């Protein structure tokens, strides 16, 4: 069975709660805070699910911001990687969940195989760096405006991740 890590950065707890729910739904995965120690552990996993909220105007959450310069140097060959995170599509409709896209771009040359893309239907925003080829590159959540949809979105995304990881 694939060894899965859920690694997250969260300022007010929303992405942390999502990470916990994802870990619970997957079962048997490790939940790791986004810090330097967490980064050093990633080589021991087959699947990495990276979670960040978006702050400022389209910036990484602070814990990830500290690590941003180191992400491109990771060797993720043979690993499957996806992203999740919370944002506010009404308050920040031009930068909704941008952090997912920033992480994706940072890992572009690491050899990772990206999985877990997610449809944009049901969201209302103008622009997002997390959208590539018409889909989110991972699971976008919105605790500010669509908290009632979070549990179902997580369950469906976790099923997709399971299908992609065996």
Q: How far is the CB of 165 from ligand FMN (least distance, A)?
A: 24
Closest approach, Cβ 72 to ligand FMN, in A, equals: 22
- Residue 38 token pair: 């967490």
Q: How far is CA 146 from CA 19, 50, 87, 88, 140, in A?
A: 17, 21, 10, 9, 11
48-77 residues in contact with ligand FMN (CB under 6 A) are 53-58, 61
Question: Between helices 62-71 and 98-106, what is the axis angle to 10°?
Answer: 20
CA 123, CA 142: separation in Å to the nearest integer? Answer: 9
Residues 34-53 that bind ligand FMN (CB under 6 A): 53
Q: Exactly one of 6, 23, 60, 97 binds ligand FMN (CB under 6 A); which one?
A: 97
Total residues in contact with ligand FMN, by rule CB under 6 A: 23
User: Residues 52, 85: contact at Cβ < 8 Å?
Assistant: yes
Nearer to ligand FMN, 150 or 165 (CB): 150
Residue 86 within binding range of ligand FMN, rule CB under 6 A: yes
CB 65, min distance to ligand FMN, A = 12
> Binder to ligand FMN among 87, 101, 116, 138 (CB under 6 A)?
87
Q: How far is residue 21's CA from residue 140's CA, in Å, rounded to a whole number? A: 14
Q: Tokens in use for 90? A: 């009404």
Contact residues: ligand FMN, CB under 6 A: 10-15, 53-58, 61, 86-88, 92, 95-98, 143-144
């Amino acid at each position: 069975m694939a060894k899965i890590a859920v690694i997250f950065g969260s300022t007010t707890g929303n992405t942390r709660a999502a990470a916990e729910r994802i870990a619970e739904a997957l079962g048997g995965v490790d939940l790791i805070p986004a810090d330097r120690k967490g980064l050093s552990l990633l080589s021991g996993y087959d699947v990495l699910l990276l979670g960040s909220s978006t702050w400022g105007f389209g910036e990484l959450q602070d814990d990830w911001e500290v690590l941003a310069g180191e992400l491109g140097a990771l060797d993720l060959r043979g690993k499957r990687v996806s992203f999740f995170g919370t944002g506010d599509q009404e308050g920040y409709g031009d930068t909704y969940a941008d952090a997912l896209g920033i992480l994706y771009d940072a890992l572009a040359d690491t050899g990772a195989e990206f999985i877990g893309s997610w449809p944009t239907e049901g969201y209302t925003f103008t622009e997002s760096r997390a959208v590539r080829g018409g889909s989110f590159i991972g699971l976008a959540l919105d605790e500010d405006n669509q908290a009632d949809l979070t549990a179902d979105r997580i369950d469906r995304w976790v099923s997709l991740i399971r299908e992609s990881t065996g």
